[in-house]
Structure 1
C-alpha cells in the first residue's frame, strides 16, 4: 500500500483522486487544497454572472464530503509552504494554523493556473476584478447591483473576456472590450471566423477596441478610466481577463519546466523527478497537431491528465493519446468551435498548410423551419494533406462535428479521406451534399 499526496483538488485533482480510490488498491490518499471549495466549473461562470442561470450552485460536481466518503483525507484551506523532493515530504499549514509535514510515496501536483495581472499603475484600485474562482464571480455579481457601475471595461478578448462582455451587456451595462490583438478569440480562430464573432458583439452594443495595450488604470481609490497606448475609456469596473499562467511555485526550482513555466511531463504525466506527477493547468500536454509537448489549459485536458496519472500510480500503465485543443463558444447563440491548428497558428509555427472554406445551409433549402448558414474551414498539411485543424461557425448547433475533426487529427486522416466519408442524410438534420463533404471535395 502506498501513500499518495495530491496537491490541488479541482478538475485534474478530483479526477485523479476518484480514479485512484476507484481502483480499490487501498492506497492512502491525502489531499491539500487552499480553496474552500472544489470542482467549480468556471466555464459556466459567465452564464451565472449574466443571469442565464439563476444560481452558481450547479457549477460544482464534487466536494470535500464526497471525496472523503470515497476514502480520501481532504485538507481544505491549507497552504503548502514547501516540498522536500529528496525526503518525500510536503510541508503545509492547515486551516487551524497547525503545521504538518506529510510524507508521501507518490506526489501529484495539480496546482492549476493563476491569472496574468499586468504590472501597471492602478491595478490595485477598487473595482479592478479578476474572474477565475467562485468567490470572484460572487463578488462581481454583488457589485453589479450597484447602480453607479455603468461602464465596464473587459481587458482581454479571449474566451473568458468575450463571455463576460456578453454577460455584462445582458445587465444593461456599457461594455468595452480591449485586446492587443487585431480581433477577438485570436488564439483559436482565423480572422475570417473571429470577425463574425466580433460583428455579433458589436451588433449587441459592445464596443470593441483592438491593437491597443493597456498602460494604466486611473482612479481616486476607485476605477475611473482605462488608459491604453492609443486612448482612454471611462470605466466603473475593470475585468482583467488577459490569460493564465501555470502555477509552478512549489516545484519550479527542482522540476524540469516548459518554456512558459509549466511542469514538463511525459505521456504518463510523470515529471523529471521519480514518483512526482503533474496534471492539469500546471503541466504540459502532448499536442498531436505538432507531435510534441505543448501548453493547452482546458478543463477537458485536465480531467484526462488526472485519469492518466492516477492509472499509472495504481499500477495500470496508461499513456495519453494526446490532445488537439478542441474548444467552443456560444455568444448570443452564435456558436463557434475549433480544434487543432488555425492557418495563422500554423504559419507562426512554420508549418506549411493549405485550407479550404465552405459556406452552406445546415439543411436542404426546402426546409421551412430554422435553417441557418454554416461556415467551415479545414486546415491540412500542404505536403501530406493530413488534417491539422478545423473551424465551424453557425447559429445552428453543429458542435458535434468538431469531434470528428479532432479524431481525424489524432489519427492523421487526410482531407481526401473525407471526400467519400459515410455521412448520413436526412432533411431534418442536413443536406445530401453537406458542408463537410463539399469542403473536402473542394480541397486543392
Structure 2
C-alpha cells in the first residue's frame, strides 16, 4: 500500500505514525512545504513570555525521527496538483525547482489551517506579525524583547495569551477585537468579565466591538485604524483566527462553505480512498450532534490516529469532540467543554445554564480558594452540552470530566449523583462538579 500524506501537521504526523504502526510494510510519503514538523504553536505566547525551557522541545517529532520510523519525508516540497479520484499528485522540490508526478493507493489530506489575514491596507508591513507557525514564533521572539508597546488584534485564545504575556513582561498592550468582550467565542460574560478586569489591572487597553480598517507604518512603529479610533505601537500582532487550508482540493470533495473537508466517521472523504483530518477537516461536535469546524490540536491528533486505523478498512469510528480547551491568564485558570448558553443559541440548541461559586475544599483547611463553575444543558432532555470552570486552583480536569459526560450523553441528574471522592486536601464533601449539577437540577425544576 502506497500512501501520500499532504501536510506534516499534527494530524499528518499522527496519521503517518499510526499507518506505519498498523501496516509496517506500507510505503508512506509525507509532503511538507516547510522544513519542520509537529510544531506546538500553542506555546508561542509562552515562549515569548520566557516560560519555555527550550524552543527545540516545542516539537515532538522531526523529519529525521519520522524517517527513522520508515516514513519517507519530502520536506520543502509543495504539492502543486492533486487529482483525488485518480490518486495522482504533482509536487515540486522548492530548493531545486524539480517537479515530479506520482500515483498512490491512498491519499490523506492534512494540510491544516491558514491564519485569517484580511486584505487590508498596510497589513503586509514588516511591523505587522502573524502568530501561526514556527517562522512567526521566531520572528516574534526576536523582536519582542526590544519593543515597548504592541497592538494585539483578536481576543480569542491566541490573542488573549499574547496580550497577557506581553503585559506581564512590561509592554504597553492594546487588545482589539470586533466583538464586545474578550474571549467572546470561548466564554460566557460572567467569565470574560473577570478576565477583562485582570487585563485592566495589568494596564492592557481594551478596545472592543470595533473592526480594523487599515495599518500604516509610522516612525519607529505602526498605526492601526479601526472604525472607532486609531492606535499606535511599536508592532501589531494578528490573532484573528483560522480557516481550512484546502484550496487545492476545491470541487473534488464535499466541503463546508468555509472549505472544511467533510468526512464520515472513519475519516474518509466523499472520494473513496481519500482521507482528511485535523484543521483541514470537519469534526462531529457531540454537544450539537452535528458536523462542524473546530480547529484544535486535540481533534487533529485523534483524527490522525483514526486515519491510521481505518486506512485499509473501517475499523474504529470517530467518537466526536466536545472541543474541550483551557487557558491561564494572570494566574487565573479557565477550562471549558462544549457550549455556553450563548453559543448554544447560535448553534440552534435550546439550552439553559447555571453558575455557582464556592471554595474548592473545606474552609477548615489553612488555605483554599473559590471556584466559579458553570453548567449548560439542553432543555427538555436535560442532556449536558457544556461546562466551564475558573479558579486560581487547577480546575482543568473538571472540564475533562464533563467532556466525558457530554460524549456519553449524560444528564444533569446523572452528573449530580456521580461518585466523586471526598478528602479535605482535595475537595468538599460534595465536589464542585456535582454541586453545579445539583444547582442545574434546582434551576431546571
Q: TM-score range by the shorter chain?
A: over 0.9
**What is the rounded CA distance, in whole Å, between the counterparts of 1:143 and 1:408 in structure 2?**
44
Matched, 1:35 2:34: yes
Stretch deviating more after TM superposition (174-183 or 199-208): 199-208
Contact 1:20–1:314 (Cα < 8 Å) also in 2: no
Alpha-carbon shift at residue 135 of structure 1 (Å)? 1.2
Given the alignment, which residue of 224, 227, 239 partners 1:226?
A: 224
Offset, 1:55: 2.8
Residue 19 of structure 1 corresponds to 18
Name whichever of 47-56 and 324-333 sits farther off. 47-56
Q: Does structure 1 conserve the Cα–Cα contact (< 8 Å) formed by 2:172 and 2:204?
A: yes
Contact 1:374 1:393 in 2 (8 A): yes
Give the match for residue 317 of structure 1.
Answer: 315
1:100 aligns with 2:100: yes
Rounded to whole Å, the distance in 2 between the matches of 1:217 and 1:380 is: 43
**Runs of 5+ unmatched residues, structure 1:** none
User: Contact conserved, 2:254 with 2:262, CA < 8 A, in 1?
Assistant: yes
Task: Provide the residue aligned with 1:124 in structure 2.
Answer: 124
> Structure 1-normalised TM-score?
0.97
Q: Which residue of structure 2 aligns with residue 302 of structure 1?
A: 300
CA drift at 1:434: 2.7
Q: Which of 406, 423, 427 is residue 426 of structure 1 equivalent to?
A: 423
Deviates more, 1:221-230 or 1:425-434: 221-230
Q: Does 1:161 find its partner at 2:159? A: yes
Contact preservation (8 Å) 2:19, 2:307: no
Matches of residues 17-166 of structure 1 in structure 2 within 5 Å? Answer: 17-94=16-93, 95-146=95-146, 149-166=147-164
Give the secondary structure class of the aligned counterpart of 1:250. Answer: helix
What residue number does 1:244 align with? 242
TM-score, normalised to structure 2's length? 0.96
Q: CA deviation at 1:69?
A: 0.8
Q: Does 1:184 align with 2:178?
A: no
User: Deviations along 1:233-262, whole A, 9 cap, x unmatched?
Assistant: 112100011000000121012111112211
Question: How far apart in 2 are the matches of 1:67 and 1:88?
Answer: 23
Mapped partners of 2:438, 2:410: distance in 1? 15
Which segments of 5 or more consecutive residues in structure 2 lack a partner in the other structure?
A: none
**In structure 2, distance between residues paired with 1:274 and 1:421:** 43
Pairing 1:224-373 to 2, within 5 Å after superposition: 224-315=222-313, 317-369=315-367, 371-373=368-370
Aligned length, in residue pairs: 440
Distance change >3 Å, CA 316–CA 270, structure 1 → 2: closer
Question: In structure 1, what is the Cα distance between the partners aligned to 2:357 and 2:168?
Answer: 30
Could you tell me how far apart the structure 1 residues matched to 2:86 and 2:39 are? Answer: 33
Out of 294-303 and 411-420, give the one that drifted further.
411-420
Q: Post-superposition shift, 1:202? A: 1.6
Select which of 382, 390, 394 maps to 2:387: 390
Distance 2:25 2:266 in 1: 21
Q: CA RMSD in A?
A: 1.3
Deviation above 3 Å: which 4+ runs of structure 1? 220-223
